[in-house]
């Protein structure tokens, strides 16, 4: 019963959200923390897969390009006007996407394990409140907004870590997906094209797709519930 209610309410809310998308707010006030960092929900493969079953640790070459995007904790499709307001208040930009380079270096995978090296971008974030909204229901909405950023021209800030997988998954990652022209043109699908065999097309490690495709659905549901309260007045 409970899940039936929330499922049907959510579909009503999906419609409500669409009609609300046209409304704008005129003001964003920073309240709470500003310009703090936190990790992106996305982790990108920045090395080939490695099965390290020799007698010593493996030094894995790392590098390439990754693409990440600005987010809020409201909906997956926060409109551009909101980011412009927020950017004006914080003094740093929230570009729709950032295509950035990861430093060429090496990272260790310990003997007896297999996997690849993952890069998790670091976000710069702010918290605040929307006001002066055309739609009064949005007035006072608390928002957390985050954006990837670089530490030097063309680079992107983030952290490296070994992501351990089965040997099969590691073997399927036959190239470094960040070290491709697809990646440098802004496509970070962890899609791996076998460079040694053009006729074999591509190999995609199944674990990788799951790892890079996290969405912010929890935040969307929470916003929907708060809008519902505002609309129906529960």
Ligand X SMILES: *[C@@H]1O[C@H](CO)[C@@H](O)[C@H](O)[C@H]1NC(C)=O
**At closest approach, how far in Å is the CB of 111 from ligand X?**
10
| Contact predicate 178/46, CB 8 Å | yes
130: closest CA among 221, 227, 42? 227
**Which x/- pattern over 108-147 shows residues binding ligand X (rule: CB under 6 A)?**
--------------x----x---xx---------xxx---
Q: Does 68 bind ligand X (CB under 6 A)?
A: no
Q: Which residues of 142-159 are buried (b: 16+ CB within 10 A; e: fewer)?
A: ebbbbbbbeeeeeebbbe
Contact 62, 46 (CB under 8 A): yes
207 binds ligand X (CB under 6 A): no
Nearest to 190 by CA among 178, 174, 172: 178
Using the rule CB under 6 A, is 98 a contact of ligand X?
Answer: yes
Q: CB of residue 131 vs ligand X: minimum separation in angstroms?
A: 5
Judged by CB under 6 A, does residue 77 bind ligand X? Answer: no
Q: Confirm or reject binding of residue 166 to ligand X (CB under 6 A).
A: no
Q: Which is nearer to ligand X, 100 or 207 (CB)?
A: 100
DSSP codes of every residue in 149-180:
--SSTTB--EEEEEEE--HHHHHH--S-TTSS
By CB under 6 A, tell whether 157 contacts ligand X. yes
- Is residue 92 within the footprint of ligand X (CB under 6 A)? yes
**Which is it for strands 97-109 and 58-69: parallel, antiparallel or unpaired?**
antiparallel
CB 43 within 8 A of CB 188: no
Nearest distance, CB of residue 48 and ligand X, angstroms:
7
Which of 30, 182, 228, 230 forms a contact with ligand X (CB under 6 A)? 182
Binding-site ranges for ligand X (CB under 6 A): 27, 29, 32, 35, 37, 51, 53-54, 61-64, 73, 85, 88, 90-93, 95, 98, 101, 103-104, 122, 127, 131-132, 142-144, 149-151, 157, 176, 179, 182, 187, 189, 191, 197, 199-200, 219, 222-223
């Amino acid at each position: 019963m409970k899940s039936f209610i929330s499922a049907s309410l959510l579909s009503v809310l999906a419609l409500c959200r669409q009609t609300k998308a046209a409304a704008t707010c005129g003001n964003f006030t920073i309240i709470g923390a500003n310009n703090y960092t936190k990790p992106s929900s996305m982790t990108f493969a920045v090395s080939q897969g490695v099965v390290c079953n020799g007698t010593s640790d493996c030094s894995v070459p790392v590098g390439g390009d990754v693409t990440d995007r600005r987010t809020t904790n409201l909906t997956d499709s926060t409109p551009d006007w909101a980011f412009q307001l927020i950017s004006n208040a914080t003094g740093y930009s929230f570009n729709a996407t950032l295509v950035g380079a990861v430093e060429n270096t090496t990272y260790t995978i310990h003997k007896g394990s297999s996997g690849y090296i993952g890069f998790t971008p670091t976000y710069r974030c702010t918290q605040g409140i929307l006001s002066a909204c055309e739609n009064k229901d949005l007035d006072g909405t608390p928002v957390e907004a985050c954006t990837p950023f670089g530490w030097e021209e063309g680079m992107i800030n983030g952290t490296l870590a070994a992501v351990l997988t089965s040997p099969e998954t590691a073997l399927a990652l036959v190239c470094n997906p960040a070290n491709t022209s697809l990646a440098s043109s802004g496509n970070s699908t962890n899609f791996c094209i076998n460079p040694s065999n053009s006729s074999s097309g591509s190999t995609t490690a199944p674990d990788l797709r799951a790892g890079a495709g996290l969405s912010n659905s929890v935040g969307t549901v929470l916003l929907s519930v708060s809008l519902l309260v505002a609309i129906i007045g529960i």
